[in-house]
Copies of this chain bind each other. A is one copy, B any other.
Amino acid sequence: MAEIRPLIAARGAMATQDCNACPIRHRAVCARCEGAELDRLASMKSYRSWAAGETVALEGDMLPFVGTVLSGCATLTRSLEDGRVQMVGLLMPSDFVGRPGRATAPYEVTAATDITLCLFDRQRFEALLTDAPQVASRLLEMSLDELDAARDWMLLLGRKTARERVATLLALVLRRAAVDARPLRAQLPLGREAMASYLGLTIETVSRQITALKRDGVIRLEGGGRTILCDDLAALLIEAGDDGDGEMPG
């Protein structure tokens, strides 16, 4: 997913930077920090990378850190005992990972692409939280945004048809990827399986709905189905069933 957010630096370059130079400060938890807090953040952080497909944390794992996504894309999933899986969040660069105040991960975290995180020791971060209001209020704001996004997704999962779900996701990806280009074009960051998991559908249904949207002239495909083009975003948003201003759950 890094490729559709060109602002984000490649991960090799990242490992030597500190919070002051963080290219994602505009959204990340340190966005409002000043001298002293930045120094504290910088003193407790480290970097770590995972390859696409690797597990960052299993449900119930001890998580000694919290952190921020620097590059790449990770998924949060919850599953039932018989193997049914639902994606409950998609982490993009600048998104926050982990849960201050809780030692174990409530869902499985998996690297969807190669990914690098900027990690903070959880307990030291919690201490910072209690006496740096900017950090706490910034994190609160991010959490509330995620809550809104999760609730939008509940509407999709509870009430939308398969075609509407697929159209919603494609519109979301297109709007993130390219606000300017015409026609809109985006490489799908997720394979069909991850899309199905996100949308509460099966792979086959996702595939059929994409084919149907293509047949009906709403989208076009390129590069073996991994790149989508759209000439008329308004038409795609109508297919999505609402005005389409929903945000992606983080």
Contact = CB atoms under 8 A, between A and B. Distances in A.
A144 B99 contact: yes
A23 interface: no
A100 to B, nearest CB: 7
Contacts of A131: 133
Contact of A147 (B78, B150, B152, B157): B150
A208 to B, nearest CB: 18
B143 A147 contact: yes
7 closest A-B pairs (Cβ-Cβ)? Answer: A158-B200, A157-B157, A88-B151, A136-B136, A86-B158, A150-B150, A84-B159
Interface in A128-184: 129-134, 136-137, 139-141, 143-144, 146-148, 150-155, 157-160
A238 to B, nearest CB: 10
Contacts of A134: 130
A106 B154 CA distance: 14
Interface of A: 76, 78-82, 84-86, 88-89, 99-102, 106-107, 129-134, 136-137, 139-141, 143-144, 146-148, 150-155, 157-160, 199-200, 241-243, 249
B89 A155 contact: no
A106 B148 contact: yes
B140 A86 contact: no
A150 to B, nearest CB: 4
B101 A144 contact: yes
B159 A200 contact: yes
Contact of A157 (B132, B158, B242): B158
A102 B145 CA distance: 10
Nearest to A139: B140
A130 B137 contact: yes
12 contacts: A78-B151, A80-B241, A86-B158, A88-B151, A88-B155, A101-B141, A133-B133, A133-B136, A139-B140, A140-B140, A147-B150, A159-B200
Contacts of A84: 159-160
A120 to B, nearest CB: 15
A193 to B, nearest CB: 14
A154 B78 contact: yes
